[in-house]
Amino acid sequence: MTDTLMTKPQGTSSLHSKDVAFEIPPNMEASLRAIKEVCNTMFGIQLETIGNPELFSAENMEYGVALSLLHDSGSCELGLFGCKASCDNLARAFLGFGADEKPPSSEVLDLLGEIVNMVSGIVKRSISGGEQINFGVPLHLIADDCKTYLPHTIPVIAQPLSGPSFEGEILLVLSDRNPVTLASEISGVLNDATPGKTQLLGRVIALFEEIEECLGKAGTDHISKTIDHCSSIVMNLINEEISDGDTALQWVRRAVGELSSALSERRTHLYKSHPTVPDFKSTEEVKQPTQQVPVERDDETVEIITDFLQESEDGLNNADQILMRLESGVDDQDGINALFRVFHSIKGLSSFLEITDVTNLGHTTETLLDLARDGKMKLTGTPLDIVFEATEMMRQQLKFVCQSVESKLSFPETVGLPKLLLRLEAVIKGEEVPDSEVLVTQTQAPEAVQSPPPNVKETVKVDLDLINRLAMISASFSKIEPILKNLKSSELSEDIHKDLISSCAELQEVSTFMRMLPIQTLFQKMTRMVRDLSKKTGKLARLTLSGEDTLFARNMIEKLNDPLVHMIRNAVDHGIEETEARKATGKPPLGTVQLIARCEKNEEKKQAIIELKDDGKGLNPKTLIEKAVSKGILESDAELTDEEAFKLIFAAGFSTAANVTAISGRGVGMDVVRTNIENLGGEISITSEVGTGSTFKIKLPWGI
């Protein structure tokens, strides 16, 4: 759609200039058709547009629900908002309340959420490329919360709607969020932010994450570098780790301004003004060398470090081969790109693990390689020699990291690193390069803790073709095994008979294990999602993991992703209570969601178990039954046990208060979750207690 909207400022917003043209979101017409269809078909309510679309104003808005439709190049935010009187009248019309009945706030929000979910689903099915759309986290807003929905710079277009069945009007709102508008939004938030405004800085972090998601494969390493640097500085401001916060924040504002211009002009962001990031420390702050001290690391951390060491060593081995090709005079641009990716990956992972020296070396080396891949520096002579040095020192650092983990010590400072960093920075700036110095091969450290060190396991990669061949052999043995079992000892030596049976069983077990992976990777993805949800909903929530080393079939792990994402979003967004509500009931402010995996043996068969627990408000069986009756799913005289009542949420079309506030997520219901689990040969059950929380238990066949 190419129409534009000429409008004056709305409400108290001063960010929308008079007579400025704003584009009407391209999905507005599809959304209007969808809401009319939903209201007429599902509820028998006629809705019509009132006037023309206008800029959304949060004034007098007391109810609102919004949902993001996420696509490859950004997202479209779709929502319904209204004042209390209009939304109450709408609820009366939709729910069949009498004129003197006052619908509870929860009922009103549930209704708006139900409509938004259905409208989003229709839009997804009706627009070009809709099959690629995912749904974001639904936001339920009341009173002053509605004002926080209004962005600084992104236009939100509102179309008033009304009908003969209720008095007043509701607003269907739509806004497009893409890398360009998000960069502008970040700038708007930064203009209001100060080093002490933690809430605004937190919004900046969330926006940086959103812009990276929108960019996806379209993003360049230059843009990613800008976002990474700015996010890191903002996070340090939040953690109060920067002494000169005002200067740091001003640097971020300039960098984001350059990024915004680059995205608007569709050009590569070259990061010209800031080739390296200042440390923003005051001159009085000088970090003193620290000694290694005893450190306890849990098994999960040790395993993550083990994977990091293996992946980094593989990357450095590849880097050595590339460097030798370059040294021989081969023009290998792809090799230079691969070199950059090696150091970029090591930098990112080491930063996550807080291995500071490795991060610093990785960052500075990738800056040099960035110049080489942009054609601004020839990777020959001294620059090439220094990258060789960096590769060797990094290999030594990884060795020290491994020793530190085995000895239960903190990570050591690398002797000789400051001098190498100076040499790297001199090459980057085109200055005279200081002399090199001999790399250190050992590090002094206090004695290790007097307890057995953890086993830092070595891992190997197995070719998939070999795995498939082994599986075929195993399949052949599985056909032979019944024959062997039926042979009499007189026909076959008893020892040979036992050996064949044992070998067959062992081969089957090995092939099964080779097709399996720990569920750790999937679980860890959920940890970040809970953090993001906590920020977006304003609730305090954390995810705890248990049994991440439990093995699952590779294909099963992939198919479990969507059901777990949906269930965890429900748990945080609608299961965990608001902070004040938790305090009022004697609960800790921080809500907890648990993911637990394990194996159980049942009737000689192994089962894989996943449990999702939350300590939220729980499911109320009575409420579920009442809602099912009101929707025609149950007869009014039906009597159900608690377990039977909980199963109601798996019924198709059960999109009521329990469904919206405890089950809704990305436009799919719990019936879809159950179907996905059953397609894997599994089953899902629920236990819950009002005020205590809920547990969803998934049972799956093991080893398929």
Q: What is the structure's pLDDT at 616?
A: 93
Amino acid at 451: S
Judge whether 281 lies within some domain: no
Range of the domain at 622: 518-701
The domain boundary residue, chosen from 217, 247, 264 = 264
Q: What is the pTM of this model?
A: 0.42
Q: How far apart are CA 43 and CA 272, in angstroms?
A: 58
Q: For 526-538, how does the pLDDT look when each residue is reduced to its tens digit (9 = 90+)?
A: 875 776 677 667 7
Q: What is the CATH number of the domain that holds 100?
A: 3.40.1550.10
Lowest mean pLDDT among 110-124, 224-238, 360-374, 606-620: 224-238
Q: Which residues touch 183 (CB under 8 Å, ≥6 apart)?
A: 211, 256, 259, 260, 263, 264
- Whether residue 289 is predicted with pLDDT greater than 90 in this model: the reply is no
Q: What is the structure's pLDDT at 451?
A: 37
Judge whether 294 lies within some domain: no
Cβ atoms within 10 A of the Cβ of 679, count?
Answer: 9
**Dihedral of the alpha carbons of 27, 33, 36, 37, in degrees to the nearest 10:** -120
Question: How confident is the model over 608-622, as a mean pLDDT?
Answer: 93
Q: Is residue 617 domain-shared with residue 555, that is, in the same domain?
A: yes
More confidently predicted of 51 and 460: 51
Q: What is the structure's pLDDT at 394?
A: 92
- Whether residue 445 is predicted with pLDDT greater than 70 in this model: the reply is no
Question: How confident is the model over 105-113, as a mean pLDDT?
Answer: 87
Question: How confident is the model over 679-691, as a mean pLDDT?
Answer: 91
The answer to whether 470 touches 514, Cβ cutoff 8 Å, is: yes
Q: What does the mean pLDDT of the chain come to?
A: 79
Q: What is the structure's pLDDT at 281?
A: 54
Q: What is the structure's pLDDT at 173?
A: 94
Provide the pairing of β-strand 516-518 with 134-135: unpaired
The domain boundary residue, chosen from 177, 211, 229 = 177
Q: Is residue 160 domain-shared with residue 241, that is, in the same domain?
A: no
Q: Is residue 102 domain-shared with residue 195, that is, in the same domain?
A: no
Q: For 13-37, how does the pLDDT look when each residue is reduced to its tens digit (9 = 90+)?
A: 333 334 445 677 778 888 999 999 9
* Helix pair angle (381-406, 417-429), 10° resolution: 150
The domain boundary residue, chosen from 162, 177, 192 = 177
Q: What is the structure's pLDDT at 439?
A: 43
Q: How far apart are CA 684 and CA 95, in angstroms?
A: 31
Q: Is residue 217 domain-shared with residue 325, that is, in the same domain?
A: no
Q: What is the structure's pLDDT at 444?
A: 39
Judge whether 441 lies within some domain: no
Cβ atoms within 10 A of the Cβ of 138, count?
Answer: 26
Q: For 631-646, how does the pLDDT look when each residue is reduced to its tens digit (9 = 90+)?
A: 778 888 888 899 989 9
171 closest CA partner among 80, 93, 108: 80
Q: Is residue 508 domain-shared with residue 612, that is, in the same domain?
A: no
